[in-house]
Amino acid sequence: MIVRRWVDGVDERLDGSSFISRNLRKVFPDHWAFMLGEIALYSFLLLVLTGTFLSFFYLASDEPVTYTGPYQPLQGQTVSSAYDSVMRLSFEVRAGLVMRQIHHWAALVFMGAVIAHIIRVFFTGAFRKPREISWLIGIGLFLSGIGAGFSGYSLPDDALSGAGLRIAYSIILSIPFVGAWVAYLFFGGEFPGPDILNRLLVLHIFIIPVVIFTLLGAHLAVVWHQTHTQFRASGRTEETVTGTPVWPKFALKSIGLAFTTFGVIALLGGLFQVNPIWLYGPFVPYSTASPSQPDYYIGWLEGLLRLWPNWEFHVFGHTVGELLLPGLVVPGLVFTILALWPFLEARASGDYEWHHFAQHPREAPVRSGFGAAGVTFFVVLVLAGGNDVVAKFLGIEVDSFNTVLRWTLVLGPVLSGVVTYWICRDLRDRRRHPLSAPLRVAFRRNAAGGFEEIESEPPVAGREVEEPDRT
Amino acid sequence: MRRASLVVALAFGAATLAALGLFVVYIAGGQPQVEGALLFVALAGIGAGLMVWATRLMTGIGQITQSRRHAQPPEEKEAAAEAMAGGVEEMSRRRLLYRLLLGAAGALGLAAIFPIRSLGRAPGASLFRTEWRPGLRLVDVDGNLVTRNTLEVDSFTTVFPEDAVGSGDSQAVLIRVQSGSLQLPLDRLAVAPDGYVAYSKICTHAGCAVGLYLARVHQLRCPCHQSTFDVLNGAQPVYGPAARALPQLPIEIDPDGTMRALGDFTAPVGPSFWDLPP
């Protein structure tokens, strides 16, 4: 049989039989939450496939041309070659628009899956020793994803992305000492800068994808080597891993998930318009699209800029602008804390042991409290990033909505953190699964004629100690 | 089992038909919504088929338990540390050579920084000035001269120097308010004649074009982060994240009604930067 001959041939040349059999028989545990990382991986593959197609049509040039394509409202307008090429791709290249929209949707799904995956790993303590490396790589992937998204949606040179670039330039400008130099070197000169589209293109289709490929490869290799964490269940130990072998069962399921992910994103790309640059119009420096919102994974950074007070400082005759703290320092702190969390937690708890069992959120109330606070912080900031749109939707003034958001940004995380901590601690102490049946309390009449509660064992926490095996 | 294999067969069949359908749609000229729907059936059909196959038809493959890899035995760790440290010691024994190597590598690293300088021009004084010069006439986005009659009271337009239409840093808003309603210091009131006042259009917060004029309250508002500036009072920030006023452009009106700049803006335009004096 051809497969056997192939394995034989590999073995004779690479001495690979034991490698092949060991890895094909490797056991992969099964839990729905493992899907999140896989969805991120497969949306990235789709990004590469569709992005390659788009790159064959894109022109990174700000050379002005007159638009003569089929989209009537813009006919005769002067636009940049970059904008013109994306318009041509959207309206004249067959299957161009669907490819472009699939690409954009895949980026939205990719970042969503990355964020959900980080949240899952955080709340289950799956980042603990020995998996700190995977965690760090994951945070690196999150950052790279933000860079890839921003550099990508800035390429069409439309009015919306122009505003985003203008803000990015202004944030760079606010860096003490070297801000002006860094901004000029990156943009090639004063905004809009003659070279920026070309540089964004190289970042977007070469540098960042190489970084993501490398990090993804390392992430997968480490996960493969270390195996997944698992929840406690009967028959499971720290020293073993239980699941289905890679070949063929796990592989088929995972490839099935890949195709399903592709399919769902293709449906989104086909049916739901995204980034309609013809509605925004070409970028001109003297006009800003209103309302203008970035994609949600950057929306929280935009929210910080919108809610931050107008603090400007002066140091020895120099100026530290309003953008430095919300634009660079606070996001830097957020990412530093996020990246260092495994080490901070180990130090705070004094727990430097290996852990192959994942935890339920209720088993680590302090961590879960911090996690809930972090998620609240993120959600409030995403809302703030679209404060004008949300306020309009709610029918209230932006200014009063901002006041609410500011208080929520400060108090919301504290409140949700404390409440989560309290709930988790309570559940942990009662050793109950939150979704199990309500406690049944029995009373009996006592000798005095009153009622008293019958002392009973806490219910056997079946769901807690036994994650059902799914075969 | 029987039903599961039927489901898989149907899924693969639907995927095949949808893929053939894509063929037809493409040849017919393409249509994004239909392409998306057909791609969904083609891709998700294969995906769903594979997943049902794996979960429902591979019942013979059950759960297996394997041992996880563990830390290497102590002597292995010892040997690895020995090998690593031994190499470092071997090199640092020749201290001079070791330092020379570090020096050479450092110098090479420094030399590698220089090409970065080629990436853009030096900021110089460019952040402090714009294209506006004394005597330049004001024109609109289409290059038409702006005159006394261009604007109604409580309306505004975007203006440029006549030789730099569309310029990023020279864009300004010209607003006409009721004559006499401006509350500016005398020297700045003198360069805002007859209720015409011009301010830089670049927000001092993050640099977006301040494109919204709320005529009722005489405020300019930036659509990006809602910084709001009081037009009557020197475009001082009254709400939002901006800390500095929009710089004013000094203008005069010729006898024939055309408008001229009397010089550059009263302050550097745009967001703050390190070298901006307080």
pLDDT tens for each residue of A34-63: 999 999 999 999 999 999 999 999 999 999
Distance from CA of A43 to the nearest CA of B (A): 13
Q: Does residue B123 belong to the interface with chain A, where contact is any CB pair within 8 Å?
A: yes
The more confident residue out of A441 and B3 is B3
Q: What is the pLDDT of residue B231?
A: 97
Candidate ranges A11-15, A181-185, A455-459; pick with highest mean pLDDT: A181-185
pTM score: 0.93
Instruction: Flag whether pLDDT at B276 surpasses 50.
Output: yes
Among B32, B41, B68, the residue with its CB nearest the CB of A98 is: B32
pLDDT at A256 over 50: yes
Residue B274 corresponds to which tokens in the numbers above?
């390190």
User: What pLDDT is stored for residue A439 in this prediction?
Assistant: 62
Does the distance separating the beta carbons of B208 and A166 come in below 8 Å? yes
The whole-chain average pLDDT of chain A stands at 92
Give mean pLDDT, residues B60-84.
Answer: 86
With respect to residue A167, please indicate whether it lies within any of the assigned structural domains: yes
Report residue B183's pLDDT band, with 50, 70 and 90 as the boundaries: very high
Distance CA B174, CA B209 (A): 13
Angle at A466 between CA A463 and CA A471, to 5 degrees: 110
Does the structure show a pLDDT above 90 at B195? Answer: yes
**Is residue B190 less than 8 Å (CB to CB) from chain A?**
no
ipTM (interface predicted TM): 0.94
- pLDDT at residue number A457: 52
Which among B126, B215, B205 has a CA at the least distance from the CA of B173? B215
Q: Is A12 on the interface with B (CB under 8 A)?
A: no
Contacts of A348 (CB under 8 A, 6+ apart): none
Distance from CA of A386 to the nearest CA of B (A): 10
Tokens read off for A393 = 């939707």
Q: Contact, B195 vs B180, CB < 8 A?
A: yes
Q: Does A248 touch chain B (CB under 8 A)?
A: yes
In this prediction, residues A238-266 reach a mean pLDDT of 94
Q: Tell me which residue of B63, B169, B257 sits closest to A187, measured CA to CA.
A: B169
Note the pLDDT of residue B27: 95
Average pLDDT rounded to a whole number, residues B83-112? 92
Shortest CA distance from B129: residue in chain A:
A190
Residues in chain B with CB shorter than 8 Å from the CB of A176 are 274
Q: Give the pLDDT of residue A455.
A: 61
Asked whether residue A59 is assigned to any structural domain, the reply reads yes
- Which residue shows structure tokens 């030399």? B111
Q: Does B205 touch chain A (CB under 8 A)?
A: yes
CB burial of B188-213 (b: ≥16 within 10 Å; e: otherwise) equals eeebbeebbbbbbbbbbbbbbbbbeb
For the record, the structure tokens of B245 come out as 């006023």
Tokens read off for B141: 């986005």
* Distance of residue A116 Cα from the nearest chain B Cα, in angstroms: 22
Task: Tell me if chain A has a CB within 8 Å of the CB of B64.
Answer: yes
pLDDT bucket at B62, cuts 50 / 70 / 90: confident
pLDDT at A459 over 70: no
CATH superfamily of B138-261: Rieske [2Fe-2S] iron-sulphur domain (2.102.10.10)
Instruction: Give the angle subtended at the CA of B10 by the CAs of B8 and B11, to the nearest 5°.
Output: 65
Tell me whether residues A314 and B55 touch, CB distance under 8 A. no
Q: Please state, in angstroms and rounded to a whole number, the distance separating the CA atoms of residues A434 and A428.
A: 10
**pLDDT one-digit tens code per residue, B156-179:** 999 999 999 999 999 999 999 999
Is residue A162, in this structure, part of any structural domain at all?
yes
Whether A357 maps to a domain, the answer reads: no
Chain pair A-B, CB pairs under 8 angstroms: 288
Q: Is B274 within 8 Å of A193 when comparing Cβ atoms?
A: no
Cβ(A281)–Cβ(B211) under 8 Å?
no
Q: From chain B, pick out residues whose CB is under 8 angstroms from the CB of A193.
A: 120
Give the pLDDT confidence of A214-242 residue by residue, as tens digits.
999 999 999 999 999 999 988 888 889 99
pLDDT at residue B2 above 90? no
Q: What is the residue range of A56's domain? A: 24-290
Average pLDDT, chain B: 94
Q: Which comes out higher in pLDDT, residue A114 or A11?
A: A114
Question: CA B233 from chain center: how many Å?
Answer: 30
Name chain B contacts of A64, Cβ cutoff 8 Å. Answer: none
- Beta-strand ranges (E) seen in chain B are 64-67, 138-139, 155-161, 172-176, 196-200, 212-214, 219-221, 228-230, 236-239, 248-249, 251-253, 259-261
pLDDT at A442: 73
**Given A167, A249, A314, which is nearest B208 (Cβ)?**
A167
Looking up tokens 């180990």, which residue turns up? Answer: A346
Is B119 part of the contact surface with chain A (CB cutoff 8 Å)?
A: yes
Q: Residue B257 CA to chain centroid, in angstroms?
A: 39
pLDDT for A291 equals: 84
Closest CA to A265 of A63, A98, A138, A409: A98
Q: Where residue A347 falls among pLDDT bands split at 50, 70, 90?
A: very high
d(CA A109, CA A263): 12
Which two structure tokens, joined as six digits, stand for A448? 């005095």
Choose, out of B16, B23, B25, B50, the residue to mutate when testing the contact with A (most A CBs < 10 Å): B50
Residues of chain A positioned with their CB less than 8 A from the CB of B276: 318-319, 321
Question: Chain B neighbours among A 287-346 (CB < 8 Å)?
Answer: 287-292, 305-306, 308-312, 314, 317-323, 326
* pLDDT at A450 (0 to 100): 79
Give the pLDDT confidence score for residue A445 in this predicted structure: 80
Q: What is the pLDDT of residue A467?
A: 44
Q: Chain B partners of A243 at a C-beta cutoff of 8 Å?
A: 63-64
Contact A285 B158 (CB under 8 A): no
Interface test with B, best of A310, A311, A316, A409 (most B CBs within 10 A): A310
Chain centre distance of CA B179:
38
Number of domains in chain A: 1
Q: Is A269 on the interface with B (CB under 8 A)?
A: yes
Q: Inter-chain contact A186–B36, Cβ cutoff 8 Å?
A: no
Distance CA A393, CA A303 (A): 17
The gap from C-alpha A101 to its chain's centroid, in whole angstroms, comes to: 19
pLDDT surpasses 90 at B262: yes
- Asked if pLDDT for residue A469 goes beyond 70, the answer is no
pLDDT value for A257 = 97
CB contact under 8 A, B36 and A269: yes
* Inside any domain, residue A130: yes
- Kindly determine whether residue B243 and residue A189, on different chains, have CB atoms separated by under 8 Å: no
Give the helix ranges, DSSP H, for A193-327: 196-202, 208-226, 251-271, 277-280, 296-307, 324
Minimum distance, in Å, between the CA of residue B198 and any CA atom of chain A: 15
- Contact of A64 with chain B, judged by CB distance below 8 Å, is answered with no
Give the largest CA-CA distance in chain B. Answer: 96
The HSE-up count of residue A402 (CA atoms within 13 Å, CB side) is: 18
- B68 contacts in A (CB within 8 Å)? 226-227, 238-241, 356
What integer pLDDT is reported at residue B73 of this predicted model?
A: 84
Domain ranges of chain B: 2-57, 138-261
Euclidean distance between the first and the last CA atom of chain A, given in angstroms as a whole number: 30
B108-129 average pLDDT score: 94
Q: Is the pLDDT of residue A414 over 80?
A: yes
- Is residue A301 exposed (0-12), middle (13-18) or buried (19+ Cβ within 10 Å)? buried
Residue A242 sits at the chain B interface (C-beta within 8 Å)? yes
Tally Cβ neighbours within 10 Å of residue A68: 11
Mean local confidence (pLDDT), B223-236: 96
With DSSP H G I counted as helix, E B as strand and the rest as coil, what are the percentages for chain A, rounded to 5?
A: 65, 5, 30
pLDDT at A447: 79
Out of A95, A285, A292, name the one closest to residue B26 (CB): A95
Q: What is the mean pLDDT of residues B185-203?
A: 96
Q: CA of B127 to nearest chain A CA: how many angstroms apart? A: 8
Average pLDDT over residues A384-392: 94
Which B residues in the span 82-111 are in contact with A, Cβ-Cβ below 8 Å? none
pLDDT of residue A456: 56
In a domain, A411, yes or no: no
CATH number, domain with residue A258? 1.20.810.10
Calculate mean pLDDT across residues A248-277: 96
Q: Mean pLDDT across the stretch A155-177?
A: 96
Cross-chain residue pair A98–B239, CB shorter than 8 Å: no
